[in-house]
Structure 1
Amino acid sequence: MKTIFAVDDSATARASIQYTLKREGFNVELAVDGVDALNKISKYSGDIDVFLFDVNMPNMDGITLIKEVRKLNNHKFTPILFLTTESQESKKMEGKAAGASGWIVKPFEPDVFVNIIKRFTT
């Protein structure tokens, strides 16, 4: 079973991500912000196949979180997708420079979202 690690400060967004991916057979791990994510990632013993990060979060934003995750030896090449309401080209370029693999704008269409995730997990 593939594991998706999603980080979003919105409880509604986390619930939607979890519901959508679990019904497709994915294991979903959740965190509420970048600080929470780094704590959980450091303790997580399984494989993480894809990260989903929001951009705007308290305590640690998604861009900073990408930079921190890319420093971890076992996640240097793990796909990291932004799932955010941000759609400005400058933010996308900043994310790409930090190490993002892709960008999904919220709200998402469940079928499109799942297809994108599947592309990164096969």
Structure 2
Amino acid sequence: MKKTVLVVEDFASIRDFVCEILEKKGYHAIKTTNGNEALEVLSRQAEDISLVLSDYNMPECTGMELLKKIKANPATFPIPVVFLTTESDPVKMRTAKDAGLAAWVRKPYKADTFFALLENLSR
């Protein structure tokens, strides 16, 4: 069975690119544009999601807010969350790790390393 990755990214070009690459690697990708949309998807199909791949800086509901809401809900708590972001503030990185973030991947990323990480983390 294909693993499902919930992609949360406000820029359409990046969102489409990441989803296309995931699909080519054999994953099923669900596209959302912000944390609120991601939470709606998770409320309907948390059991289907293997991993959440989110940007950090987004309007309406940031990656950090999304992470906190995922980890506060027993139904979504076990789902690994990975930030794929240009953000590099060490304080934000530490805060996210303390909140339950599985990994922080800086854009641009190396595809091989990135997919090895996803395979390792997805449930």
Partner of 2:35: 34
Quick check: 2:67–2:99 contact (8 Å CA) kept in 1? yes
Cα distance between partner residues in 2 of 1:23 and 1:45: 23
Shift of 1:46: 4.7
Q: Which runs of 4+ in 1 moved over 4 A?
A: none
Cα distance between partner residues in 1 of 2:98 and 2:46: 28
Deviation string, structure 1 residues 89-117 (Cα, Å, up to 9, x no partner): 11111111221111001122222221111
Shift of 1:45: 6.2
- With normalisation by structure 2, the TM-score equals 0.91
The secondary structure found in structure 1 opposite 2:39 is helix
* Cα 1:96/1:45, change in 2 over 3 Å: closer
Shift of 1:74: 2.0
- With normalisation by structure 1, the TM-score equals 0.92
5+ residue gaps, structure 2: none
The secondary structure found in structure 2 opposite 1:75 is coil
Shift of 1:88: 1.9
Shift of 1:121: 2.6
The secondary structure found in structure 2 opposite 1:19 is helix
* Counterpart mapping for 1:31-70 below 5 A: 31-44=32-45, 46-70=47-71
Quick check: 1:83–1:103 contact (8 Å CA) kept in 2? yes
5+ residue gaps, structure 1: none
The secondary structure found in structure 1 opposite 2:10 is coil
Partner of 1:92: 93
Quick check: 1:20–1:114 contact (8 Å CA) kept in 2? no
Cα distance between partner residues in 2 of 1:108 and 1:15: 16
Higher deviation after alignment, 93-102 or 43-52: 43-52
* Counterpart mapping for 1:76-115 below 5 A: 76-115=77-116
Deviation string, structure 1 residues 1-60 (Cα, Å, up to 9, x no partner): 111111010111111111111101001111100111111211226521111111100001
Cα distance between partner residues in 1 of 2:39 and 2:15: 17
Instruction: Report the identity percentage.
Output: 31
Cα distance between partner residues in 1 of 2:111 and 2:20: 10
The secondary structure found in structure 1 opposite 2:83 is strand
